[in-house]
Amino acid sequence: MNVPEGLRYSEEHEWVAVEGDRARVGITDYAQDALGDVVFVQLPDPGTSVTAAQSCGEVESTKSVSDVYAPVSGQVVETNPALSDTPELVNSDPYGPAQLESLLDAAAYQRFTEES
């Protein structure tokens, strides 16, 4: 099971990554594995206000339909449009773009610039 450092997790199996004044959220690797093959994702519309611990969407798999709970309160600014056409992305990469793993964190970038 993949549990990345630097994220916060809810007991309902959602994760939060804070990026400035925004929070990016999703379901955990554990949740997507328990669901099985994801076939549909319903996300809140941009502009929707969500309340922590309240349902704000659904994930449908070949096994079941599960609510997605807002791990924090706020307003939805944008959603991942790729999930509409390719909901199985939740199974292959529940934490977001894999390309991020190849990028430098702040400390590594500072070391890089000092060595240049």
Residue 87 sits in a domain whose CATH number is 2.40.50.100
6-15 long-range contacts, Cβ below 8 Å, gap at least 24? 7/95, 8/71, 9/71, 10/53, 10/69, 10/71, 12/53, 12/69, 12/71, 14/68, 14/69, 14/70, 14/71, 15/71, 15/95
Q: Does position 99 have pLDDT exceeding 70, yes or no?
A: no
Look at residue 99 and tell me if it is in a domain: yes
What pLDDT score was predicted for residue 100?
55
What pLDDT score was predicted for residue 101?
59
Range of the domain at 100: 8-115
Look at residue 76 and tell me if it is in a domain: yes
What pLDDT score was predicted for residue 115?
85
What pLDDT score was predicted for residue 105?
65
Share of the chain above pLDDT 70, in %: 91
Select from 1, 5, 10, 4 the least CA-distant residue to 56: 10
Q: Considering its fold, how many domains does the chain have in total?
A: 1
Look at residue 2 and tell me if it is in a domain: no
Look at residue 85 and tell me if it is in a domain: yes
How much is the mean pLDDT over the chain? 89
Distances (CA, A) of 102 to 25, 41, 108, 109: 20, 27, 11, 12
Look at residue 24 and tell me if it is in a domain: yes
Task: Dump pLDDT digits (tens) for 7-49.
Answer: 899 999 999 988 889 999 999 999 999 999 999 999 999 999 9
Look at residue 3 and tell me if it is in a domain: no
Look at residue 34 and tell me if it is in a domain: yes
19-23, 42-46, 84-88, 104-108 — which is least confidently predicted?
Answer: 104-108
Look at residue 57 and tell me if it is in a domain: yes
